[in-house]
A and B are shown apart, each in its own frame.
Chain A
Amino acid sequence: MDENMFLSILGKGQYQIEVLTKCNQYSQKFGVSLTEKDALTLLDARKNSLKEQERIEFGGGILPKLIFAFCDSPFIYQDNYVDTLESLQNIFYLYKNESLDELTDDELIDYMKKHFDNDCQGSLEYLEDTCLEDFARSIREGTRGFIGKYEEEE
Chain B
Amino acid sequence: MNEFDMEELIPIVAELTEKYTSKESTSVSYDTAKQLMNAVIYCMNEIDLVYEKSDANAVKDMVKQQNAKLAYRTGYELVIKKVFKTKALFEEIALGFNAYKNQAYYETVMKGMPVFFLYYDPKFNPQNHILTLDYPTIKSIQDSCGIDVIYEYLTYTKLEQDLLKAFPEEYIITLLSNYHANYEELFINIGSIVLRNILTCMIVGKKITSHIFDQKDAEVLREFIECSSQEELEMKLCNLIQILVNQGYNHNEQLYEYLKEDVKNISFELLNAMKNNCLDVMFLL
Which residues of A line the B interface, CB within 8 A? 1, 5-6, 9-10, 50, 54-62, 65, 93, 96-97, 101, 104-106
Contact = CB atoms under 8 A, between A and B. Distances in A.
A144 to B, nearest CB: 15
B24 A58 contact: no
Contacts of B14: 9, 58-59
Kindly name the residue among A55, A59, A62 whose own CB sees the greatest number of chain B CB atoms within 10 A.
Answer: A55
28 contacts: A1-B7, A1-B11, A6-B11, A9-B14, A50-B27, A54-B29, A55-B27, A55-B28, A55-B29, A56-B17, A56-B27, A56-B29, A56-B30, A56-B33, A57-B27, A57-B28, A58-B17, A58-B26, A58-B27, A60-B26, A61-B26, A96-B25, A96-B27, A97-B29, A101-B28, A104-B24, A104-B25, A105-B24
Contacts, number: 57
B10 interface: yes
Interface of B: 7-8, 10-11, 13-14, 17-18, 21, 24-30, 32-33
Nearest to A105: B25
Nearest to B8: A1
A50 to B, nearest CB: 7
A60 B27 CA distance: 10
Nearest to B67: A1
Contacts of A6: 7, 10-11
Given A5-B11, A6-B7, A101 B29 contact: yes
Contacts of B32: 101
Given A6-B10, A55-B29, A58-B26, 14 more contacts: A10-B10, A54-B29, A55-B28, A55-B30, A56-B29, A57-B28, A58-B18, A58-B27, A59-B14, A59-B26, A65-B26, A101-B25, A101-B29, A105-B24
B176 to A, nearest CB: 45
The 9 closest A-B pairs by CB, nearest first: A104-B24, A57-B27, A58-B14, A56-B33, A54-B30, A55-B27, A9-B14, A105-B25, A62-B26
Contacts of B17: 56, 58
Contacts of A54: 29-30
Contacts of A58: 13-14, 17-18, 26-27
Contacts of B7: 1, 6
Contacts of B8: 1
A9 B11 CA distance: 7
Contacts of A104: 21, 24-25
Contacts of B11: 1, 5-6, 9
Contacts of A62: 26-27
Contacts of A60: 26
B125 to A, nearest CB: 15
Nearest to B16: A58
A10 B24 CA distance: 17
Contacts of A97: 29
Contacts of B24: 104-106
A93 B27 contact: yes
A5 B30 CA distance: 22
A105 B26 contact: yes
